Amino acid sequence: MTSDAGYPMYALSEEHQAIREAVRAVADDKIAPYAAAVDEEARYPHEAAAALLASDFHAPHVPEQYGGAGADALATVIVIEEVARACASSSLIPAVNKLGSLPVQISGSEELKQKYLSKLAAGEGGFSYCLSEPDAGSDAGGMKCTAKPDGDGWVLNGVKRWITNAGESEFYTVMAVTDPDKRTRGGISAFVVEKSDEGVSFGAPEKKLGIKGSPTREVYLDNVHIPGSRIIGEVGSGFATAMKTLDHTRVTIAAQAVGIAQGALDYALGYAQERQQFGKPIADFQGLQFMLADMGIRVEAARQITYAAAGRSERGDKDLTFFGAASKTFASDTAMQVTTDAVQVLGGYGFTRDYPVERMMRDAKITQIYEGTNQVQRIVAARQLLAGIQSNL
């Protein structure tokens, strides 16, 4: 949000405050009560999915013209943050729906937008993002999945790995090589693949440290024939679309990290005021107060840079790439530190699954890894700084 002069305003609008209150009510009533069971049973959070769909928070970013809520980038960030505060796995429903569908929104034809964004908004299926492969993680340009012309359509072959909500989502944005000689310089294209397409199958769910309620599986494409209308943008524009998408969606991972950290801080504060040792609450001890203070400072700093990045995402500012990388890095490092400290505040209890902070600590770790490791994010941020692309406003 900016003033008429273009400077940041450091207060949420009444509309954004109302969105936070509405999402928090849904998260507290319909999501948080199932978070421990979702983690323990490593199952998809169907209760959360139903609650988010019923309240139109499952894909808030979809524009109104396609039947969506038309939430701006900051509102979408608030939705993800508040859901993550209750359950990180559940927050990946709105986050991944944005990640998977944003390429269509950015580069797709009007026909493609009308068809798939409308289906997403109506709750006819989630949207996943297929970029990584077994041998192409940080080096996404090293992908081997191919798309070859076939009459009026395309034939896709390959394996995509680490695909969030694979098997649950009905729709998939798939990046594939269309010109092996050009690779990232015009040799990769983007396509919409449907779960029901012949030749699409999925691997077994990965056995993960955290976010166990969000399935992560391989996606197998075995001679998958799709119509030509399902290409996203021009042939060869896929890699550029993928990078533009990540500039925006790294902000949503920052929001997820802020939410996880806030949830851990909330619980640690309550525990510290109730737990008695040496005849008084442990919150009375200065050493613990300093730890809680540092946790709160880090969470609020992470929130501010995330909201600043969301504003740039909404406006499409030239320094979005820097802020996307910076917010994701700082917020995820914060989530890891704050959740670890929350476990320490609870002591031995924090180390058990009877209390939520150990789950939050496990969930926080992935935010430092997916959508580009924090090491890669620091490279991205440094390149932006060295190129002079950073606003001081």
Contact 97, 104 (CB under 8 A): no
* DSSP, residue by residue, 249-302: HHHHHHHHHHHHHHHHHHHHHHHHHH-EETTEEGGGSHHHHHHHHHHHHHHHHH
Q: Going by C-beta distance under 8 Å and a sequence separation of 6 or more, which residues neighbour residue 374?
A: 328, 329, 332, 333, 368
CA distances from 259 to 151, 263, 331, 338 (A): 48, 6, 10, 11
Does the annotation mark 47 as catalytic? no
CA angle 122, 27, 371 (to 5 degrees): 70
Helix (H, G, I), strand (E, B) or coil at 50: helix
Contact 228, 147 (CB under 8 A): no
Return the half-sphere exposure (C-beta side, CA atoms, 13 A cut-off) of residue 234.
5
Catalytic residue among 81, 133, 218, 371: 371
Contact 20, 85 (CB under 8 A): no
Instruction: Extract the runs of DSSP E, i.e. beta strands, from the chain.
Output: 127-130, 146-150, 153-164, 171-177, 188-194, 200-202, 216-227, 231-232, 276-277, 280-281
Q: Which residues are catalytic?
A: 371
